């Protein structure tokens, strides 16, 4: 990075931390620290929800996803607006009516303490681990691209935000997320404009879309149907995105404290609902625009020499192994096909006539390039003994580092940090709130409800909550440091999340809609439901069945709902017989 980039990076990050500290002044009570005294307007709730969901990987991975697989990933978000509606009808009024601090407090009122503690524990475990990975995942990419030390990158990525998160709690998190999101959107817009600007003369936005479309990358809508019927293994299509995405979004926004904690900061029901509904309106076009940047990037590399593999550090390592000659041979073939492909693309973009002929040639050449890239990755995997050689996350930043002007590179790196901080800060705040409210206050001798405590106790709880936030920050950084060298951990944590989300959602849905179900029945149903989800996952891994991970959320939710009904019937019958 140039000196100017360093200045931009340091100034931007320092400004964010300072802003967070300035906005740290809050009431020294648990309600002030964790819920910002329930005083936030809807637009801050909206930005906080969006800032929490959009992690660094969102901005790194989505353009890369569009580059490699096209824009169909946007379908993953089609269920989100529907989930926002259900949340506003069911979850939000109930949470606000009960004045809960955490989502799991509702479960105690409905099913008893064991269900609350069990669900909150699951949240702490999965969110604590995944937040550590949220630090590690962007750190390893930045460290690899810029040659930074991963230990220090993890420390800066996870450490600096602790300063304002510990100090200011939910209020500082929300206010910094607002500024972070504005800078992120401005930076991404600039990056998108730069891609179009850097295209050859005569190739504008429309021509770029024409070329990208010819390669099949603008495949926003796919049905998932093949000549053999619906493909359940297909991750992103209209049906799995709408149904699976609906359950995933309902579970994430309705039962994950890192999100629930955001809309509980709203000053009333209306502001919570408006924040969520606006998220439902904005999220889909926002993801579409981020993916479009990736699709345009593909066009950009159709006129430039595109690397066969975007993680250059891993590539260099692989070239020092016995696979060197095979890798070089594959790259040579790639360059030859790419030159041919570029000739077709140039003719296709510049000619009005005979475009269909070139379109077919482009499609064929592109397929050949994809095959060569896949074969290259397989060789690289063998060379480095890695379980995964996916370079999707490197594509966008590789472009940033190689082609963007001085200053803008620093800003884009700062954006990655800020995107990471937005989601990590909210996660730390929610982890601390669950530890304090769900566990600490329940196992101590003093009153267990924040509203019943004395002024002195309230001040003590406030100080202790800051320590819990700090401790979780340290835990997540340590997790990130240990994650180094465990390439497949990111995938493992994602799978772990999808294994539990559906069951947790099922517990909440039964709590809201099935009044006859009691605590014992729901616990039994949740355990059996979890076994079914894990069984489905194992069956998929052993190739007995084929099912995309989004469907696990549906399986978990439906299992708990149906089983709780059946178990309650059995328990009622047994009770009658005994009586």
Partner 1 sequence: MTMQQEKEQIPVFSSWRHWYVLVIVVLIGYLLFFTWFTKYFA
Q: How far is the CB of 197 from partner 1 (least distance, A)?
A: 21
- Closest by CA position to 194, among listed 411, 417, 418: 411
CB of 449 vs partner 1, minimal distance in Å: 22
Is the Cβ of residue 269 or residue 304 nearer to partner 1 in the bound state?
269
Q: Among 135, 14, 29, which residue's Cα sits nearest to residue 463? A: 29
CB 426, min distance to partner 1, A? 23
Give residue for tokens 């259900």. Answer: 86
**292-330 burial by CB neighbour count: b if 16+ within 10 A, else e?**
bbbbbbbbbbbbbebbbbbbbebbeebeeeebeebbeeb
- CB of residue 274 to partner 1, shortest distance in Å: 6
Q: What CA dihedral angle connects 389, 392, 398 and 403, to 10 degrees?
A: 140
Query: Among residues 242 and 457, whose Cβ is nearest to partner 1?
Result: 242
Rounded least distance, CB 210 to partner 1, Å: 7
Nearer to partner 1, 274 or 477 (CB): 274
Residue among 355 and 390 whose Cβ is closer to partner 1 = 355
- Smallest CA-to-CA distance from 370 within 346, 338, 347, 396 is with 338
* H or E stretch at 30: helix 30-35
To the nearest whole angstrom, how small is the minimum distance from the Cβ of residue 44 to partner 1? 15
Q: Which is nearer to partner 1, 27 or 355 (CB)?
A: 355
Which residue, 363 or 407, is less far from partner 1 as judged by CB?
363
- CA 424, 184, 392, 219 dihedral sign is positive
Rounded to whole angstroms, how far apart are CA atoms 209 and 349?
10
Least gap, CB of 273 to partner 1 (angstroms): 7
Question: CB of residue 368 vs partner 1: minimum separation in angstroms?
Answer: 20
Note the residues at the interface with partner 1 (CB under 8 A): 74, 78, 81-82, 84-85, 88-89, 93, 97, 209-210, 212-213, 216, 218-221, 238, 268-270, 273-274, 277, 280-281, 284-285, 288
Q: Cβ distance 111 to 335 under 8 Å? A: no
Kindly tell me which of 1 and 277 has the beta carbon lying closer to partner 1: 277
Given the complex with partner 1, which of 84 and 404 has the nearer CB atom?
84
**CB of residue 277 vs partner 1: minimum separation in angstroms?**
6
What are the residues whose beta carbons fall under 8 Å from the beta carbon of 482, sequence distance 6 or more? 132
By C-beta, is 77 or 468 nearer to partner 1? Answer: 77
Contacts of 476 by beta carbon, 8 Å cutoff, 6+ apart: 128, 131, 132, 134, 135, 158, 424, 427, 428
CA distance 368 to 577: 70
User: In 147-241, which residue ranges form alpha helices assigned H by DSSP?
Assistant: 150-197, 205-214, 238-239
CA angle 447, 164, 162 (to 5 degrees): 85
Quote the tokens at residue 549: 């991970």
Cα separation, 260 vs 256, in Å, equals 6
Give whichever of 10 and 281 is closer to partner 1, judged by the CB atom.
281
Smallest gap, in angstroms, from Cβ of residue 84 to partner 1?
6
Q: Residue 222, SS3?
A: coil
* CA–CA gap between residue 362 and residue 342 (Å, rounded): 8
The 10 Å Cβ neighbour count of residue 422 is: 30
């Amino acid at each position: 990075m140039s000196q100017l980039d360093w200045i931009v990076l340091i100034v931007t990050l320092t400004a964010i931390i300072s802003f967070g500290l300035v906005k740290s002044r809050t009431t020294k009570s648990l309600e002030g620290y964790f819920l910002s005294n329930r005083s936030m307007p809807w637009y801050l709730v909206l930005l906080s929800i969006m800032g929490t969901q959009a992690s660094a990987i969102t901005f790194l991975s989505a353009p890369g996803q569009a580059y490699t697989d096209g824009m169909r990933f946007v379908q993953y978000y089609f269920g989100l607006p529907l989930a926002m509606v259900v949340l506003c009808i069911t979850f939000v009024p109930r949470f606000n009516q009960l004045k809960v601090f955490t989502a799991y407090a509702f479960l105690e009122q409905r099913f008893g303490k064991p269900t609350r503690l069990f669900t909150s524990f699951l949240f702490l475990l999965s969110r604590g681990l995944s937040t550590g990975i949220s630090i590690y995942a962007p750190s390893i990419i930045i460290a690899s691209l810029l040659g930074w030390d991963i230990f220090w990158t993890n420390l800066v990525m996870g450490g600096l935000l602790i300063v304002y998160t510990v100090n200011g709690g939910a209020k500082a998190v929300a206010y910094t997320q607002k500024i972070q999101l504005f800078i992120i959107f401005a930076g991404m817009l600039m990056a998108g404009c730069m891609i179009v600007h850097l295209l050859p003369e005569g190739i504008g936005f429309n021509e770029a879309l024409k070329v990208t479309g010819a390669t099949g990358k603008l495949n926003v809508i796919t049905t998932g149907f093949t000549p053999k019927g619906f493909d359940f293994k297909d991750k992103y299509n209209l049906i799995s995105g709408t149904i699976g995405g609906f359950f995933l979004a309902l579970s994430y926004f309705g039962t994950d404290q890192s999100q629930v904690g955001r809309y509980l900061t709203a000053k009333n029901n209306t502001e919570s609902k408006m924040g969520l509904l606006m998220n439902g309106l904005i999220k889909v076009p926002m993801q579409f625009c981020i993916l479009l940047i990736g699709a345009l990037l593909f066009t950009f590399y159709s006129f430039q020499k595109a690397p066969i593999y975007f993680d250059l550090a891993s590539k260099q390592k692989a070239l020092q192994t016995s696979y060197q000659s095979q890798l070089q041979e594959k790259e040579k073939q790639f360059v030859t096909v790419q030159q041919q492909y570029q000739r077709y693309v140039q003719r296709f973009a510049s000619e009005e006539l005979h475009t269909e002929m070139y379109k077919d040639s482009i499609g064929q050449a592109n397929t050949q390039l994809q095959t060569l890239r896949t074969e290259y990755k397989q060789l690289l995997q063998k060379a480095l003994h890695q379980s995964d050689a996916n370079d999707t996350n490197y594509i966008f930043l590789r472009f940033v580092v190689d082609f963007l002007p001085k200053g803008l590179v620093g800003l884009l790196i700062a954006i990655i940090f800020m995107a990471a901080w937005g989601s990590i800060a909210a996660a730390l705040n929610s982890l601390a709130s669950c530890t304090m409210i769900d566990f600490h206050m329940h196992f101590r001798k003093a009153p267990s409800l924040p509203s019943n405590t004395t002024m002195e106790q309230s001040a003590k709880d406030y100080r202790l909550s800051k320590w819990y936030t700090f401790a979780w920050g340290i835990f997540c950084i340590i997790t990130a440091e240990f994650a180094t060298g465990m390439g497949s951990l990111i995938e493992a944590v994602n799978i772990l999340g999808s294994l539990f989300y559906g069951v947790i959602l099922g517990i909440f849905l039964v709590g809201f809609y099935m009044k006859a179900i009691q605590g014992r029945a729901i616990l039994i149903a949740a355990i059996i439901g979890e076994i079914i989800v894990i069984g489905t996952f194992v069956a998929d891994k052993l190739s007995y069945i084929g099912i995309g991970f989004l469907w696990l959320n549906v399986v978990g939710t439906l299992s708990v709902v149906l089983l709780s009904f059946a178990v309650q019937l059995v328990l009622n019958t047994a009770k009658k017989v005994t009586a």
